[in-house]
Structure 1
Amino acid sequence: MYQYFIKIVPTTYTDLKGITVYTNQFSVTKHSKIISSGMGESGLPGIFFMYELSPMMVKYTEKQRSFMHFLTGVCAIIGGVFTVAGLIDSMIYHSARAIQKKIDLGKAS
């Protein structure tokens, strides 16, 4: 027995020029079961298709971002890199000082 569960979602896509395309997205899940004539599992052999139409619509709209948006994103990335590098540097510095103190205390004894 083969069962196919098909989910269909209506979709619209609008590009930068304003051209709209009406289409559908779909996903398929397949289940199969072996039906034996002996004891145990039973059922009707065949191929079954179950359709599920979604009441929701997905809408994709392509938009162009400004140069300032790009520049803000680049500044955010650079700031994040400097922050993480500062945290790592601080952690290495404090770890080295703690190890150095232990070494100095070991030599003094």
Structure 2
Amino acid sequence: MSVYPPEIVERPKDVAVRSGGIAAFYCRARGEPTPQLSWRKNGRKVSPQSPRYLVIPQPSMSVLRIDSAKAGKDDAKYECVAENGVGDAVVASATLSIYPGT
């Protein structure tokens, strides 16, 4: 059985949303065994307990959805981290920008 380290094949893209809007980041990885994906905001793990942050895990893919994005609070650098115990974890990052609502 072959074993190979994680590789991020779909990186999250920078997102800009209006204050109060919904932002979503997508990340896809491959490796053997299948990598576990997690999200960090400014270097700290995103808590799945936060009511406005929703992490939607799927096989080898993960979506981070932020409801009612708040300026000054949610505008940050978000990182998708893929790890499977083979080699080092790999990280891809994207930035969320929030502009004032009308």
Same fold at TM > 0.5: no
Higher relative contact order (Cα pairs below 8 Å, separated by 6+ residues): 2
Rg larger in 1 or in 2?
1
Flag the structure with higher strand content: 2
TM-score range, shorter chain: under 0.3
